Amino acid sequence: MTKVIVSVVGIQKDVYGEENRIESVAVGRHYFKNGVNYISYQDNETAGMEGTNTLLKISDDCVTLVRKGQVEHTQVFKLSETNTSLYRTPYGDITLTIMTNNLDISFGTSTGTINIGYELVVDGQWQSANKLHIKICNDNNVCSAVN
């Protein structure tokens, strides 16, 4: 396992055109197994996920996000595919459906970038257009420069 810095910027535009931006940086671990890159890290208060472990499974054409802890959730991002999943919270469960309309994965041996664009539907109601910018690097100074 290799120590990495994970920088995530999430941008959400709602039905009124209002934009919400969340940024977080965490120390994580990278490992490679059976052709898939794995990044694990502890989410923090900034992302609203304190006490939640996140695992990113990164392949050539797909990113799977798995959260366990305060929130339980598995989300698959694959270009032009719709994916429905259950988002479990201490307050109840929510059904999330996403349609991935952009997926750009650029990953080396243990570092890289991932850009995801997707539409989010919550319990059958369109919620927002979203962008996720994820940067995995070995140097905190470089990693904090995500757009």
38 and 64 in contact (C-beta within 8 Å)?
no
pLDDT of residue 1: 83
Residue 14 has which token pair? Answer: 């709602």
pLDDT given for residue 109 in this prediction:
85
The CATH number corresponding to 2-143 among 3.40.950.10, 3.30.450.40, 2.120.10.30, 2.40.128.20 equals: 2.40.128.20
The confidence band for 144, taking pLDDT boundaries of 50, 70 and 90, is low
What are the tokens at 67?
A: 């959260």
The band of 18, judged by pLDDT with boundaries at 50, 70 and 90, is: very high
| Stated pTM of the model | 0.89
| CA atoms lying within 13 Å on the CB side of residue 27 | 3
Q: Which amino acid is at 83?
A: N
Task: Spell out the domain ranges in the chain.
Answer: 2-143
Phi then psi dihedrals of residue 47, to 5 deg = -85, 0
Predicted confidence at residue 45, as pLDDT, reads 62
